[in-house]
Amino acid sequence: MTDSLNKCKANETAACCCVDVGTIIDNEDCSAEYEHIFVTESEAQAKLVLLTQAAEDVATEPCEITSRIEKVNNGFKLTANFTFCCGAECMIFQLKLR
């Protein structure tokens, strides 16, 4: 019974109730999306430069970045997608944005 209950939880080690990092970061989600509306196009472009630098600072291999800035009713909408080589880099990037 105990074995069947443990299979429903994160894999813990017997040593200290630690969790195997592969249980949390499984490299299935390596992409992060950013979307925001800015008053001016130059503000949107400046933010994209900052985001790109933050992604490059984290990435061990080149990060694939796709972006667009489009005019909307109340300003300029920046949409950017950052695809990293692994889930850990993606998570670190997302934490840097907070």
Are 44 and 82 in contact, with CB atoms under 8 Å apart? no
Residue at 31: amino acid letter: S
- The helix/strand/coil state of 1 is coil
C-alpha torsion sign, points 33, 62, 90, 22: positive
Domains in the chain (CATH in brackets) are 25-96 (3.30.70.860)
- Stated pTM of the model: 0.73
Per-residue pLDDT of the chain (98 residues; tens, 9 = 90+): 444 444 444 555 555 666 555 555 666 789 999 999 999 999 999 999 999 999 999 999 999 999 999 999 999 999 999 999 999 999 999 999 88
User: Which residue's structure tokens are 């990037």?
Assistant: 93
- The helix/strand/coil state of 8 is coil
